Each structure stands twice: as structure tokens, then as C-alpha cells.
Amino acid sequence: MLCKLSLKNIKKSFKDYAIYFFTLILGVAIFYVFNAIENQTIMLQVTNSTRDIIKLMTEGLSWVSVFVSFILGFLIIYASRFLIKRRNKEFGIYLTLGMSKRKISMILFIETLLIGTLSLIIGLGIGIFLSQFMSLFVANMFEADLSKFTFIFSSSAFIKTLIYFGIMYILVMIFNTISISKCKLIDLLHANKKSEKIKLKNPYLCLIIFAISSIVLGYAYYLVTAGISELTTTLELFKPIVLGAVSTFLIFWSLSGLILKIVMGIKKIYYRGLNSFVLRQLSSKINTTVMSMTVICLMLFITICVLSSALSIKNSMTANLKKLAPVDVEFYKSFDLTEEKVAHSYLFTTSMIEDSKLSIEETLNQLDIDIHKYFKDIVILHTYSLADITIKDTLGDYYQNAKSKYPFLRYDMQEEFVKLSDYNKVARLYGLEELSLKDNQYILLSDYNGWIPIRNEGLKKNTPITLQGKEYYPKYLECKNGFIHISNNHINIGLFVVPDTAVDENFRNQGIFLANYQEEAKNKKQQLEEELRLIENHPYSKFTNLSLVTKLFLYESSVGLGAMVTFIGIYLGIIFLISSAAILALKELSESSDNQERFRMLRKIGTEEKMINKALFQQIAIFFMFPLAIAIIHSIFGIMFCNYILETLGNKQLLQSIIMTAIFIIIIYGGYFLITYFCSKRMIKEKR
């Protein structure tokens, strides 16, 4: 009998709470899809280094899945709470007819078990289907060969999904049992007649709190933009986060009182149509709405920032390579190591001192690498540094201002110099503009946006530098864009180009070897790359600090890191977005169910159906749009902060990522909004 009753309840509830079932199925499908990536990448034909990156990515997704399971678990319990509330009167009737609370708990147990099983079966089916398309997306992200594409079923993802969601449903069963055991008959029978008392808050208090919270929020915005230099420690990074969260709650709390009071004072608006009814409907749940609105707003804010940043990273990093890695290979090593340098660095050992006196060509010979066999367009150059010329010295009079504005930066780092002739050789190789200097001039090169404004201030002071007793002055009062080392990021914080006579060979700091592969070597580039990377296993490698960077390695690293961040960002972003929309939708459906009698009274007094539907639409739209609007404002400054953090990547694909994020929000969040409206619309018509 209990099973039969449970089946009837599920059938009846399915129409009203399609969003709940849809969210469960969607959650299961997404969970399976992202956890199945590990098995789907097996068929991809990629290099060993890319395979290692994929392994790291799947491990990261596994840890993220643990966090996602907590979010989905909270969502399921939250949804169950509203389902139980929806059926309070039904449970009251069961108790009146003599059914024990234990049997009611058993009904809920059977219902949860059936719903969980149904959602798992459908969700896993959809997930297995979608995961095949995810294989294509993964292959596209890693630019892999899909010639071995075949249908993949991930048993590990299947088992993990069963275990995680099984635990979630067990917790829901426990929660439901506890909820029923605490219920009182009188509360169950009259639950739908109860409403939260409307308490008009003191408008002056609301206005004061709104003003204070707006100022605090403005200060938080300042800290993550213009005042970012004040965040000198990791702990201080939490300062704007805490201020933003608290001020968001206070803004919602104050606006909830102000808006009602303000609109009530504007008679033409308040008494137009069913505006007074809509406002009263909103105010009847105002106390619980403030906290939920705050949580949802912050979740939407995180979603927008995570999706916008994650989607832009891969495009930015791969786009950088065309400009920042114009040659195939770079070897570099430090020269003239001393016991003192070795003692103060974990990078060097005393066994490397002798090799640091050799040229790069000599070191490569020791490693059995024939440079003329595999390479062409070879350029070898040196950089120089002096212990008594640091960033502090080259900033001149601007140093004190820079230190006060950017106290976390290191100003004791030695500056790096390169001969004009050497740089011009690199410029010709890279296809950059060659430079010219008078015998008392220098040019400062930089491509790191965080340092360029600081460097420019020092140059504006016409700050001289002294090399071998002679002063040199800047040719330009601002940095010129330029670099020497190949990379996938903008990492040059400052490189001084000086006349050849300005530096002494005794101050060599680093040797750099740049080259392209010979045409015949390019045909077996992958094999050659593997051989070059094996120099670390050569017996002589422990005697040298020589390092290797290749365009292919940078490319694989960029693609891999970009893909990893993108997948994790999309995973978290979609889950947060679904959770936010589902919580709002379930809350609105629950309230629509509670308010059936109120809409029925509107019909009795002659209100047109069109006006009732409009009032319902406005009520749901306010609940959905209010937290989204505040989240968008937060996100403007949040994205600016993310862009500052990611500026070394040359993050110029942000607009495209923001557009993609907007599409995600419109489809998912807007979809939940429309489904909620149509379900609520049908719900309030039931008793007509």
C-alpha cells in the first residue's frame, strides 16, 4: 500500500516540480560527463608531455567533483525541504486518518529512493550520450588526432556517480525522517494559511544602512582595482571578499525595506494594476528572501567571473605563442657562478661552477648535441648585470613613491642589460624593429603590463644609470615593447639595451642560444624534441645549469594549462549557475503553491486572467533579476581584478569570453526563469 501511495505521489508531484527532477537529472549528467574525461582522453593521440597534463587535469577534476558533490547535495536537501513543505497539508491528513509518522517517513523514503533511481538512470543515460560529444571538445582543446575515435563508456565515472549520488540521497532520506518526526499536526494542517508577518522597516534606518553598505562596497571595489597595491599579503586578499559579502547582504536588507516604502509613497505606481499585490507578495517572504538573495547573488558573481576568466585563458595563451615564441628552440645558462651565488640559490650546485665558465656552444658539445646538424638561424647573445644597479637605482626619484604605492614588489633585484648589437640580432630573428642609440643613451624594454607604468614613471624623471663610470640617459621617456626569451606569457619586467661599449664581459649574467630547426629536422620534430628533453639524463647534466625551452613545449603547456582551467571553470560555473537558478525556481514554485488561494481571491473579485499572469510574471522576474543585477555589477570589478592577475597572459580574449558567459546565463538562468513562470502559471490555475 505504501509503495502504491508513493507512486501516486510521485506522479502527482512530477507536474508541479518538473524543475526538481530536471535539476537532479542534469546534475547527474554533468557529474558523469566531467568525470568521464579521463577515460575519453585515452583514445587521443597526443605527446607524452600533453598526456601528463591531461592526467593532472583529470586529477584536478576529481577533487573539484568532491566540492561539486557538496553543492549538489545541498541543492537536493534544499529542494526536498520545499517538497515537504508543499505537502504539509497532505501529511496532516495522513496523521488525522491515523497513519503514524514512521509510515509517513517510509513513504518519503520510498519516494526518494524511486526519484533517485529514476534520476540516476535518466541522468546517466544522458551523461553517457553527452560524454561522446565531450570527447570531440576535449580533442579540440588539446588539438589532438581523433582517428581512433570510438564509443567510450567510463566505468569509473559511472561508479563514482552512483556512490556520490547514493550518499546524497541517503542524507536526504535522513533529513526527511528528522523533518517529519518534528512536525506537529496543527502546523501541518494550517501551514498553507501561515505567512510571514509584513513588518515595515524603519525607512531612515534602511537609508542609513544602505548608504553605509554602499560606501563599504565601493571601498571593496577600490581594493580590487585601483587599490590593489594595498593587498600585500594573501590574508589581505580576503578583506575585499568579506567586505563585499557583508555589504551585499546589507544592501539587500535595506533595499527590501526602502523599495516597499518608496513605492507605497508613489500612489500612481503603487495602485496601478496589481502592483500593490505584487509588492505585498514579495514583502510577505522578505526575511527569508534577503539571505537567499545574498547567497544566490554571490554564487552568480562567482559564476560570471569564473566562466569569463576560464574561457579566455586558453585563447589568450595560445594566441601569445605566435608573438612570444617566434623561434623553435632556446637554451640558456647562468655564467660565472661563485660559491656565494651557489649558497644563496637552490638552483645551483658547486659542481656547476666550472661549467658556468664555458660558453653555451661548449656546454652543448659536452652534452653531445651537434648544433649545426639540427639548427639554423642561430643567434647567441649574453645579458649582463651589476650588483650595484638594482630596480631601486633605475627608478631614481620615483622609488619612494613606487615603494609606497606598490610595497609588495621587489626593488632589490639586479637590472639586466644587453648590448645593442646583440639585441638587434634577436630583433632581426624575431622580426621586430631594430634599435639605434647614441653613445650616452639607453632604451628600456618591457612587455609586462604591471611593471610598465612603474618603469615609465622612472623614465619620465630622465633617470641616469652609471656603467663603467659613464652616465647613460633614456632615449625614450617610456618603455618600448620588447623581449628576448621565448615564452607563452609576457614576463619581461625590464631589459636595458645599451651601447656595446657600456658593458664589460666580466659582468656576464646569462647566455642565450636561439635557433630554428633545420628543414630536414622539422620532419621529425617530435622525435627531436624528445631527444633534446633527455639531456637532463645525460651524465654531464649534473655539471651544468643549462636549461631548454622549445616552442612545441610552450605550445603544449599553454594548450594543456588553458584546457585544464577551462574545464574546471566550466564545470564549476555551470554547477553554480544551475544551483542558483534551481534554488530560486524551487522557492518561487513553493510560494506559488502557497499562494493559490490568494490568486483565487483575485479571480473572485473580477481580476482579469491577463493581469494575474502579468503580476505573477513580475513577481518571478523581480526574484530572478534582482540578484543577477547586483551580481553583474560585482562582476565588472571582479573581472577587472581577474584580468589584473592574468595580465601576464596578455588576456585580450576577454570580450569573447564575456559574450560566451552571457549566452550560458541566458540559456540556463533564463531557461529556469521561463520554466518557473509557466509551471507557476499552471499551478495557480489548478483550483480555478
The answer to whether 290 and 253 are in contact (CB under 8 A) is: yes
Distance CA 87, CA 79 (A): 13
Residue 195 clears pLDDT 60, i.e. is over it: no
Which whole-number Å values give the CA distances from 207 to 167, 251, 482, in the listed order? Answer: 46, 10, 53
Average pLDDT estimate for 339-362: 84
Question: What is the per-residue pLDDT for 688?
Answer: 42
Higher-confidence residue: 633 or 686? Answer: 633
Question: Is residue 326 predicted with pLDDT exceeding 50?
Answer: yes
CA dihedral 396, 401, 407, 413 (to 10 degrees): -10
Whether the predicted pLDDT of 362 surpasses 80: yes
673: number of Cβ within 10 Å: 22
| 3 state DSSP class of 481 | coil
Of 680 and 331, which is predicted with more confidence? 331
Q: How far is CA 131 from each of CA 288, 307, 654, rounded to the nearest angstrom?
A: 39, 20, 27
Residue 497, pLDDT above cutoff 90: yes
Residue 514 has pLDDT above 90, yes or no: yes
C-alpha 393/C-alpha 415 separation (Å) is: 9
What is the predicted pLDDT for the residue at 420?
Answer: 93
- pLDDT above 90 for 19: no
Position 133 confidence tier, pLDDT thresholds 50, 70, 90:
confident
Give pLDDT, residue 664: 84
Q: What is the mean pLDDT of residues 56-78?
A: 78
Strand partners, 379: 514
Please indicate whether residue 417 or residue 19 has the higher confidence score (pLDDT): 417
CA distances (Å), origin 157, targets 123, 131, 480: 13, 11, 52
Average pLDDT of the chain? 79
Question: How far apart, in whole angstroms, are the C-alpha atoms of residue 219 and residue 213?
Answer: 10
The listed range with the strongest mean pLDDT (367-371, 436-440, 584-588) is 436-440
The per-residue pLDDT for 586 is 79
- Give tens-digit pLDDT for 453-487: 889 988 988 889 988 889 999 999 999 988 999 88
Least confident segment among 16-25, 183-192, 560-569: 183-192
Q: Is the pLDDT of residue 112 over 60?
A: yes
Per-residue pLDDT tens over the stretch 579-630: 888 888 877 777 777 677 777 777 777 777 788 888 888 888 888 888 899 9
Stronger pLDDT, 296 or 227, i.e. the higher one: 296
Under a CB-based contact definition with an 8 Å cutoff, are residues 257 and 206 in contact?
yes
Provide CB contacts within 8 A for 232, sequence distance 6+. 407, 408
Cα(257)–Cα(225) distance, integer angstroms: 31
Of the ranges 97-111, 237-251, 579-593, 609-623, which one carries the lowest mean pLDDT score?
97-111
* Per-residue pLDDT tens over the stretch 664-677: 888 888 888 888 88
Q: Output 247 or 202, whichever has higher pLDDT.
A: 247
Query: What was the pLDDT predicted at 192?
Result: 53
Q: Would you say residue 3 has pLDDT above 80?
A: no
Nearest to 580 by CA among 115, 74, 18: 74
Q: How many Cα atoms sit within 13 Å of 306 on the Cβ side?
A: 21
Lowest mean pLDDT among 28-37, 52-61, 328-337, 413-422: 52-61
Whether the per-residue pLDDT at 15 is higher than 50: the answer is yes
Mean pLDDT of 120-140: 79
Q: In the chain, pLDDT over 90 holds for what percent of residues?
A: 9
Is the per-residue pLDDT at 196 higher than 50? no
> In which residue are the cell numbers 653555451 written?
360
Q: Which of 144, 549, 113 is nearest to 325 (CA)?
A: 549
DSSP 8-class letter at 353: T
Q: pLDDT: is 44 or 269 the higher one? A: 269
| 3-state SS, residue 579 | helix
Task: Classify strands 495-498 and 417-419 as parallel, antiparallel or unpaired.
Answer: parallel
Residue, of 232 and 553, whose pLDDT is higher: 553
Note the pLDDT tens digit of each residue in 382-434: 999 887 888 888 888 888 888 877 777 788 888 999 999 999 999 999 988 89
Three cell numbers, residue 92: 496532516
Mean pLDDT along residues 138-145: 62
Higher pLDDT residue, 190 or 340?
A: 340
Structure confidence at residue 318 (pLDDT): 65
> Of the spans 14-28, 226-240, 576-590, which averages the highest pLDDT?
576-590
Q: Mean per-residue pLDDT for 242-246? A: 88
* Averaged pLDDT for residues 504-531: 79
d(CA 276, CA 546): 76
Please tell me the distance from the alpha carbon of residue 627 to that of residue 248, in angstroms, as a whole number.
10
Question: Can you give the length of the chain in residues?
Answer: 688
Residue 584: which residues within 8 A CB-CB, separation 6 or more?
A: 292, 296, 623, 624, 627, 672, 676
